[in-house]
Structure 1
Amino acid sequence: MAAVRDFHDAGALDAAADAIEMAKNHLVQPWPYAGDVGAEARTLVTSGDGIYLIDGDGKKLIDGPAGMWCINAGHRREELARVMYTQAMELSYNTPWYTMNTPSAELSKRIAAYAPGDLNHVFYTTGGSSAVETALRFMQFYNNVRGRPEKKLILSRGGAYHGSTYLSGSLNGRPRDRDWMDAVDALVVKLSSPDPFRRPKGMTLQAFEDFLVDEFRDTVKRVGAEKIGAFVGEPIQASGGVIVPPKNYLKRIREICREFEILYVSDEVVTAFGRLGHVFASQELFDIEPDMITFAKGVTSGYFPLGGVMLSERLLRDLNRSNHPDAMFGHGLTYTSHPIGCAVALANLDLLEGGLLDHAREVGPYFQARLKTLEELPLVGEVRGEGLMGCVECVADRESNDPLQLDKDVGKRIDQHCHELGLLVRPLINMCVMSPPLVITKEQVDDLVGILREGISRTMDDLRKEGVWQG
């Protein structure tokens, strides 16, 4: 693997300064505050290699979040870069409306072999948001064709994150995602977050699981099963803080969905393609066979925008033998089944099958064990995770079930200290989320956790000096 370029020379630093100035003048960043929109520069990243990034100041950083949960195979993988070039020189694009390409057909067959149950068909999108949007539009189409136009409501949960399109964003369960944004609230019914750490004081884990299942069933009865088209849930809530649900909760929810003909959509945009050590985690780790699985991110290790929806054979048979065989699923994207994206995904799957999945399954438990040691720190309320997904939730006020203003500042402080020490963190209010590239070694895990420990320790020292926390 090629060495990372040296960005400490004056020319490179000048170029970085120019990029920052251009961003402030012209670039609109995602998720900006109104006071900063169109005038904001964020941490400039100039190159990457393996698990590392180089920022605009030439500092080497461990890529703790793997981009956005997606750089599974690591940065600067020549195998993936060459495939992009080769495929572009052979076929750069074809319209999916009336032509098709070989990479998308081959990829469909290969990933269908990994999908649980009868999920044998794939509709490709450009990312996770459009994958969830596609699944929901398919549910609507499915029920229209079957003569059930009223069966359209969608069950989602507190803490959920499912995308940024209008319909997918309406499912999100984090308040800050929705405070200033419109949503299709009339179509969405919200359930409680399956967060064991925030369960009522004194409630056992089994009782909490029973509460969630009872709430689900009671909601179906109250709203009416004839009105509910789908339940959408992440096996592990990623952006909600790596929420690992009680052991049998998802399996029990799946049984209720089957009982009331509610389509179960497993949102594996984050958890698929190696993040938990498997191509798909729904059946392997949670023993569920959904009606649909959405995926994105790790399918190309972030090298090309691609997502998709796995569709059940049963659903397609229902459409084929309906009274409306000529009804059209009027949904598609210009870049559906993009040949370059699918070619990269094939090469990425080669890497996963060639040892990366085995490595992820080996290093994942070590990653979890090393992160767990951070619970020794007084500021840390809980460390949780699965595979190569982890969250360190800091709690300055342990008497409250809701993070106070002090807690809301903690993540940002830790992130700043860790950046200085050589680690890029994804702060989520009072939580530090870690999802490093799957290629990370045990020694590099030690480095990551060591820096995170020091960053939290420095934050504790700051809070004590300021007299706002005495832990």
Structure 2
Amino acid sequence: MSIRESYNKVSLHPWADLSALGEDEETPIVTRGDGVYLYDDQGRKMIDGPAGMWCMQTGYGRQEIADAVSNQIMTLGFASAFNVVNEREVELARRIADKTPGDLNRVFFTTGGSTAVDSALRLCQLANNIKGLPNKKHILTRDKAYHGSTFLAASVTGKERDKTAMDVLKENVHFLSAPCFYTNGKGRTEQAFCDDLVSELERKILDVGPENIMCYIAEPVLGSGGVIVPPDGYNRRCWEVVKKHGIVYIADEVVTAFGRLGHWFASEAVFAVVPDIITFAKGVTSGYLPLGGYAVSDAFMAEISGDKSGGNCYSNGYTWSANPVSCAAAIASWDIIEQEGLLDHVRDVGPYFQAQLRILQDHPLVGVVRGIGLMAAVEMRVDNCATGDDLLAQDYALGEMVDNFCHDLGLLVRPLINVCIMSPPLIITREQIDDLVGALRQALDLTQAALRKAG
């Protein structure tokens, strides 16, 4: 039985189309990776446009990370954070605390981004219970936000176009408008749009009551919602409003941290925001092993620890919290980023990446190109009168066509319905960026030709 046949028989993948379960003939089967490239089972060489899933910061085939992981496995392959401390955990936490803004000096490790968000939200719930504020449990989030797949993280996720019947927590979760000028800002200047968004936040806080709102959670740049870069000043102004009302600000930097925008963390360096909590994952290990977590401020913890704890414990954790092997991979990746100057490299090639992709805006199938640093989205559209489910089906088909042509042309993209997501490894060169953009343009041309042929 072939790999494809076995996959269709026994595997269930994330975001699987249940209507076609067991019938997938198109998802690439990859066999190896090298630098910014992946190779499929047909020997086809492809630029990894999404860097796995925003995470392969230092690229594939890093001997330094392999050696660090191997050495750690032979030295100490596992250590339960429930009852012991390991050296790699402490070293990585110290490094993270040194780079986070403000007084975010306390680090909790999880298994990935979803569990990082879930754990941060549970910490906020615990804090308000300890402080005698059991009703302060409402959460502010945004349409098009993505915060994870665990129950709490999925509940504050606002990807409104995903067709799913999965249950989520709806009570006490409030969604604000997505800061997407392309879809929501029509008829206004970007500044006026920003003003309206901030006013909406202020109204929602007053409507719910600041005494009832536990936290505001926001990605600095909305990643899986379509690489939505908010208007200038939006993040800072929202932070000012939230802090004015005494509400905890959680920055979800699962995507934007560890170099994606050219900084260890983007909140303060790029957006002038000092959150109370920052969640992270993905690029912390360059995708080589699962790891996530959050950093929380000393001020936050001072209100619920020591004599103020009421004797409570933080009863939240995972078997692989602070796993020494994952932490060793993260430290090795960190060393590569520093030694090869990858943060400076991203700040150097990021503007070129954005400029080259924006040339695609002259294509008839491209509605808008947006992005920042080494994360970008090309949103596509077909001009006709389709609406509702017909439009959604059309957009899915459009994204699938472009994705398939890209694969044939040596480019792996991440199609989110009608949006092509690109967030290549931080090591990508200008020449490789040219190859990426060239392949995407050719895929768009082939898609347009196919659509015309089909009428």
Distance in 1 between residues matched to 2:306 and 2:211, nearest whole Å: 21
**Residue 421 (structure 1) aligned to one of 383, 390, 409:** 409
For residues 58-457 of structure 1, the aligned pairs below 5 Å read: 58-177=43-162, 179-320=164-305, 323-354=308-339, 355-397=341-383, 405-457=393-445
Distance in 2 between residues matched to 1:227 and 1:179, nearest whole Å: 30
Residues 119 and 400 of structure 1: is their aligned pair in 2 closer, same or farther, counting only changes over 3 Å? Answer: farther
CA apart distance, 1:405:
4.3
User: Residue in 1 aligned with 2:452?
Assistant: 464
CA apart distance, 1:121:
1.0
CA apart distance, 1:246:
0.6
Distance in 1 between residues matched to 2:119 and 2:396, nearest whole Å: 34
CA apart distance, 1:34:
2.1
| 8 Å contact kept, 1:119–1:311 | yes
Q: Percent identity?
A: 48
Residues 104 and 454 of structure 1: is their aligned pair in 2 closer, same or farther, counting only changes over 3 Å? Answer: same
User: Residue in 2 aligned with 1:23?
Assistant: 7
User: Residue in 2 aligned with 1:57?
Assistant: 42
Distance in 2 between residues matched to 1:393 and 1:35, nearest whole Å: 25
Equivalent residue letter for 1:460? Q
CA apart distance, 1:399:
8.4
SS of 2:20's equivalent in the other structure is: coil
Instruction: Provide the TM-score with structure 2 as the length reference.
Output: 0.96
Distance in 2 between residues matched to 1:109 and 1:424, nearest whole Å: 36
Distance in 1 between residues matched to 2:300 and 2:253, nearest whole Å: 19
| 8 Å contact kept, 1:23–1:39 | no
CA apart distance, 1:324:
3.5
Distance in 1 between residues matched to 2:104 and 2:387, nearest whole Å: 40
Equivalent residue letter for 2:127? Y
Equivalent residue letter for 1:77? R
Distance in 1 between residues matched to 2:223 and 2:168, nearest whole Å: 21
CA apart distance, 1:262:
1.1
Q: Which runs of 5+ in 1 are unaligned?
A: 1-16
CA apart distance, 1:294:
0.3
- CA deviations 1:359-381 (Å, max 9, x no partner) are 11111111111101101112111
Distance in 2 between residues matched to 1:36 and 1:466, nearest whole Å: 23
SS of 2:349's equivalent in the other structure is: helix
SS of 2:226's equivalent in the other structure is: coil
| 8 Å contact kept, 1:29–1:40 | no
- CA deviations 1:6-41 (Å, max 9, x no partner) are xxxxxxxxxxx6222221221221111223346656
SS of 1:61's equivalent in the other structure is: strand
| 8 Å contact kept, 2:178–2:184 | no
Equivalent residue letter for 1:26? V
| 8 Å contact kept, 1:104–1:339 | yes
CA apart distance, 1:259:
1.3
Aligned length in residues: 451
| 8 Å contact kept, 2:8–2:21 | no
Q: Which runs of 5+ in 2 are unaligned?
A: none
Q: Report the RMSD for the aligned CA atoms in angstroms.
A: 1.6
Q: Which moved more, 1:159-168 or 1:455-464?
A: 455-464
CA apart distance, 1:178:
6.4
| 8 Å contact kept, 2:117–2:279 | yes
Equivalent residue letter for 1:282? S
Distance in 2 between residues matched to 1:69 and 1:253, nearest whole Å: 25
